[in-house]
Amino acid sequence: MALCSVMTAMSVLFMLLTIILPVAAYSCVMLTGLCTALIVEEIDRKYALFSFAAVSILSAILIPDKESVILYAIFFGYYPVLKDLVEKKCSKITARIIKLLVFNAACLVSFFTSIYVLSVPKDTFMIGDLYLPWVILILANVLFFIYDYTLEIMLRLYKIRFKKYLQKMKR
């Protein structure tokens, strides 16, 4: 249980880093997913969802960069829970399709939230006649696969190299 609290605090810390390191804002938000994944791995999905809720609320209160908060709340916060659930219940191809559909839905929700809630003008998404959200969505899908693969590698590394140390500390 203490691990859940520590990982929740680490997630809030990563979210706070988006203020200090705006260039690394997306990376910091993605790192919160690793904290959530460790909660899923060591405790269970329910605690990971409680952590997600706590980090979402604290981030909404503490973080002035609402784009990072939206990215966390709409996708990166709960994604490790979804990933674990889908990969355990579905075939590999079905799991990839579900994860991709959820990611694209989250991208669309994030885009429309930016426009209609945060009041970002639509013309800021144009360069000449090129409407950037479609280009960004294609690039985001490529980055999503890289993120998913990286998260998988990090979890494997944790299981192989670090999990045994955590088990010793529990005794």
Q: Global pTM?
A: 0.87
**Annotated domain spans of the chain:** 2-170
Count of Cβ atoms closer than 10 Å to residue 17 Cβ? 19
Start-to-end Cα distance in the chain: 14
Per residue in 156-166, pLDDT (tens digit) is: 999 999 888 77
Query: At a CB cut-off of 8 Å and minimum separation 6, what does 132 contact?
Result: 125, 126
At 136 the pLDDT is: 87
Say which amino acid occupies 150: T
Q: Which of 60, 61, 58, 105 is CA-nearest to residue 79?
A: 105
64 DSSP 8-state letter: S
Counting every residue written for the chain, the total comes to 171
Q: What 3-state class would DSSP assign to 65?
A: coil
Per residue in 121-169, pLDDT (tens digit) is: 887 888 877 778 888 899 999 999 999 999 999 999 999 998 887 777 6
Give me the residues paired with residue 131 across strands: 126
